[in-house]
């Protein structure tokens, strides 16, 4: 009765800010609970930790159960004048692996004749968040920003939002924004990427009864990320995913077998419930050859010695990529091979600290920081060895790209990284994360020119067969359920 009275007395314009304020308090409470969980984790009291999680999950499960009841009993199959096309959704179009796959999927769909492909993002306001926007515009794909326009509710939409908003344990304004955006041009298929978008847009798509909803997962489940990073690890995510996979037409997709198995374990769902689509690449052979031919020019332009070995990487300079470990390995390599130079391509929150570390005596003058590079393949072509030291990975695009350009790769044994290469043929998976062991392996490969030549010969066939664009697109369309 009290709820109904609030809905009558408070207009929508007041209800939503109030709801967001309440969910803010819930987030604060969850953060408080998280801090107590840290205390019990420190005390190694697994039983109390388990009870915390059970109570939290039960609370969210109850909300989602009530949301199901509302959707299936109170909401009529709605608003669908005509469903058409494929909607791709992701948070931003920044220079990341998932964002790259959105572009590649759009490119492949357009090439196959799917002319009504559109992309919606949460935000494209900053220049860094629109890195891939020109690529989509060049394809003629319509791209919209959730924040670019205010779509007024029609009476039917307003009624839907009024009924569901109290059962969604997320800031309702964002879910409502996606509901408005999707209802404007309802798709036949919604293909989403990364956890936060999967959940918010997934809920919106279920409410609007989109027939096929594909949830493209992260490298690893949210429980592998810090709870202080609210976007990547929100307490409601596990129950939200469990609810979504029970809905008609919803399918989970990962880009590596390792990541898929990790999500299945985290969600408690059957083995092989998560489909695997390896990332696809569509390389222009002439462009690859051009990049190789310009390698010496690239080195000269950026102050790299033409005759010296170059170990490089292309990463976001953030904790999960472990760039400090990368530099420590570089320092150990240089200790034994003073002529080796190092090329770091990418940007991120740790850049200034990394530059300070690189100014120390053991690396001084040997490390070049390139920042963001629009044509990363040109930078890769200037490398002799590509080194990745990530703590977390799904299927690292950069390892595939490096091999495509003819550069042997070395990586830590994380996530789907081993799936990107023929171990000890086109690259090398490190046995452990020990700095000295990694450095010794890199030095062996630098000195073994014959192995590197053989690796380059094996790379084109391997990359084409395993990560070709056509293979990726065929698998995607199969999961969409279309020919």
pLDDT at 72: 84
pLDDT at 180: 87
Intervals of CATH 3.40.50.2000 along the chain:
73-281+470-480, 285-467
Tell me the C-alpha distance between 189 and 100, whole Å: 20
Instruction: Say whether pLDDT at 230 is over 50.
Output: no
pLDDT at 408: 98
User: Higher model confidence: residue 244 or residue 9?
Assistant: 244
pLDDT tens string 436-459: 999 999 999 999 999 999 999 999
Q: Residue 17's pLDDT band (boundaries 50, 70, 90)?
A: low
3-state secondary structure of 352: helix
3-state secondary structure of 409: strand
Tell me the C-alpha distance between 359 and 327, whole Å: 11
Mean pLDDT, residues 39-68: 71
pLDDT tens string 259-273: 999 999 999 999 999
Q: Would you identify the CATH topology of the domain 73-281+470-480?
A: Rossmann fold (3.40.50)
Instruction: Say whether pLDDT at 130 is over 60.
Output: yes
Q: Where are the beta strands (DSSP E) in 372-479?
A: 385-388, 409-411, 427-429
pLDDT tens string 410-423: 999 998 999 999 99
Mean pLDDT, residues 229-249: 85
Superfamily of domain 285-467: Glycogen Phosphorylase B; (3.40.50.2000)
CA Rg value for the chain:
24
Question: Which alpha helices (H) appear in 74-114, and where do they start and end?
Answer: 97-111
Tell me the C-alpha distance between 299 and 313, whole Å: 14
Residue with tokens 């190092």: 342
Q: Are 264 and 270 in contact (CB under 8 A)?
A: yes
pLDDT at 77: 60
Tell me the C-alpha distance between 463 and 471, whole Å: 11
155-172 per-residue burial string, b: 16 or more CB within 10 A, e: under 16: eebeebbebbbbbbbbbb
Q: Are 93 and 132 in contact (CB under 8 A)?
A: yes
25-29, 136-140, 280-284, 473-477: range with lowest mean pLDDT: 25-29
Mean pLDDT, residues 254-283: 94
Query: Which of 268, 320, 270, 285 is CA-nearest to residue 96?
Result: 320
pLDDT at 151: 59
**Strands of the sheet with 189-193, listed across from one edge:** 142-145, 117-121, 86-90, 189-193, 212-216, 250-254, 274-276
């Amino acid at each position: 009765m009290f709820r109904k009275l609030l809905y009558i007395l408070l207009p929508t314009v007041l209800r939503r800010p109030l709801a967001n304020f309440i969910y803010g308090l819930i987030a604060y409470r969850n953060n408080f609970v998280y801090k107590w969980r840290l205390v019990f984790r420190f005390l190694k009291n697994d039983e109390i930790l388990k009870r915390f999680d059970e109570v939290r999950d039960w609370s969210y499960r109850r909300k989602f159960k009530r949301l199901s009841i509302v959707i299936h009993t109170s909401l009529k199959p709605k608003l669908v004048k005509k469903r058409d096309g494929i909607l791709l959704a992701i948070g931003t179009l920044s220079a990341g692996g998932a964002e790259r796959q959105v572009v590649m999927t759009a490119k492949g769909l357009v090439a196959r004749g799917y002319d009504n492909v559109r992309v919606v993002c949460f935000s494209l306001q900053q220049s860094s968040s629109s890195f891939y926007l020109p690529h989509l515009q060049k394809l003629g794909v319509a791209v919209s920003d959730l924040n670019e326009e205010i779509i007024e509710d029609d009476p039917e939409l307003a009624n839907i939002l009024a009924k569901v908003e109290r059962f969604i344990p997320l800031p309702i304004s964002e879910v409502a924004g996606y509901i408005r955006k999707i209802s404007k041009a309802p798709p036949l298929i919604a293909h989403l990427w990364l956890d936060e978008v999967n959940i918010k847009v997934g809920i919106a798509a279920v409410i609007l009864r989109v027939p096929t909803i594909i949830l493209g997962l992260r490298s690893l489940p949210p429980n592998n990320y810090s709870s202080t990073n609210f976007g990547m690890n929100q307490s409601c995510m596990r129950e939200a995913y469990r609810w979504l996979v029970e809905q008609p037409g919803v399918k989970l997709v990962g880009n590596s077998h390792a990541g898929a198995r990790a999500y299945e374990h985290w969600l408690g769902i059957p083995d092989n419930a998560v489909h695997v689509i390896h990332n696809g690449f569509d390389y222009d052979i002439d462009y690859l050859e051009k990049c190789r031919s310009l390698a010496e020019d690239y080195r000269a332009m950026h102050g790299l010695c033409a005759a010296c070995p170059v170990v490089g990487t292309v990463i976001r300079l953030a904790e999960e990529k472990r760039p400090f470990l990368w530099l420590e390995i570089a320092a150990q390599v240089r200790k034994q091979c003073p002529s080796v130079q190092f090329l770091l391509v990418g940007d991120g929150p740790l850049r200034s600290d990394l530059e300070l570390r690189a100014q120390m005596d053991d690396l001084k003058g040997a490390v070049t920081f390139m920042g963001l590079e629009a044509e990363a393949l040109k930078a890769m072509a200037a490398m002799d060895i590509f080194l990745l030291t990530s703590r977390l990975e799904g299927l690292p695009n950069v390892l595939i790209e490096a091999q495509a350009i003819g550069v042997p790769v070395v990586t830590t044994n994380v996530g789907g990284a081993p799936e990107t290469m023929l171990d000890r043929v086109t690259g090398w998976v490190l046995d452990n994360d020990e700095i000295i062991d990694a450095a010794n392996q890199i030095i062996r490969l630098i000195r073994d020119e014959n192995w590197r030549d053989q690796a380059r010969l094996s790379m084109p066939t391997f990359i084409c067969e395993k990560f070709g664009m056509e293979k990726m697109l065929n698998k995607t369309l199969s999961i969409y359920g279309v020919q």
